[in-house]
A = this chain, B = another copy of it.
Amino acid sequence: MSTTRTLNIAQAVLAKNQGLADSLREGFRRQGVLVLNIVSSPGSGKTEFLARTLDFIAAEVPTAVLVGDLATDNDARRLSGRGARVLQINTDGYCHLEANMVSSGMEHLGIDGVRLLIIENVGNLVCPSVHDLGEDIRVTILSVCEGEDKPLKYPTIFKSSHVVIVSKTDVSEPMGFDRETALRNIREVAPQVTIFETSARTGAGMHAWREFLLAEVRKKTP
């Protein structure tokens, strides 16, 4: 299958990304900025979840948002007017964000005074898993629409996450979502994660997420 050559190319590119991510992380630490990297499939509800999150966090904590998408600035528009600085990054064919895009994005947005940086990655459960962006907390969102087996089928992203959000819980019943199996699969693949079950539509579970996030911001503040 001649995979070796391709893998070597990938490894060189990944090593370069890792070096930049490490230096970004050190910069964020010095400035006391908590950084989240939000990952999910297309359509898992990342943007709606972030909109609700900004509604409670941006008034309390100076927040910047970088939004990655292949095309359109729909998401940045949906997230604007909620008290955070928002920049859309169009990746122009890239299926994930890389550390250099975060670096350029923060040069545009400016980091002064920011205490929380939320990066909304491109909708993809695969490539974001091996591209460190210098984040403190990797958040993977899994909607109840996607099936309980996804942690088993996309293990790398779950294993490398700190938080898993089970989203769209208001439609668990019509979707026939098997909650016990889903939670068991998440815990089997990624025992380290904190799990929140949320509905951006009804607000269910958002209070616990808010408390967690505020505590993490406090820990990071110098």
**Which A residues are closer than 8 A to B by beta carbons?**
1-3, 6-7, 9, 13, 41-43, 69-72, 74-75, 92-93, 95, 100-101, 104, 122-127, 130, 143, 145-147, 149-150, 152-156, 168, 171, 174-175
Q: When the two chains form the complex, which single residue of B2, B127, B150 contacts A127, counting CB atoms closer than 8 Å?
A: B127
Bound CA span A92–B130, Å = 13
7 residue pairs of the A-B complex, CB under 8 angstroms, read A1-B101, A6-B13, A42-B147, A42-B154, A70-B154, A93-B156, A123-B125
A43, A95, A123, A156: most-surrounded residue (chain B CB, <10 A):
A43
Q: When the two chains form the complex, which single residue of B2, B72, B152 contacts A152, counting CB atoms closer than 8 Å?
A: B72
Q: Which residues of B contact A152 (CB under 8 A)?
A: 71-72, 74
Q: Which residues of B contact A9 (CB under 8 A)?
A: 9, 13
* Contact assessment for A43 and B124 in the assembled complex, using a CB-CB cutoff below 8 Å: no
Q: Which residues of B contact A149 (CB under 8 A)?
A: 72, 74
Taking CB as reference atom, which chain B residue is nearest A105? Answer: B1
Taking CB as reference atom, which chain B residue is nearest A176? Answer: B201
Given A9-B13, A43-B145, answer yes or no on A126-B1 (Cβ-Cβ < 8 Å). no
A74 to chain B, nearest CB (A): 6
Q: When the two chains form the complex, which single residue of B100, B146, B174 contacts A171, counting CB atoms closer than 8 Å?
A: B174
Taking CB as reference atom, which chain B residue is nearest A74? Answer: B149
Given A9-B9, A72-B152, A74-B152, answer yes or no on A43-B95 (Cβ-Cβ < 8 Å). no
* Contact assessment for B13 and A127 in the assembled complex, using a CB-CB cutoff below 8 Å: no
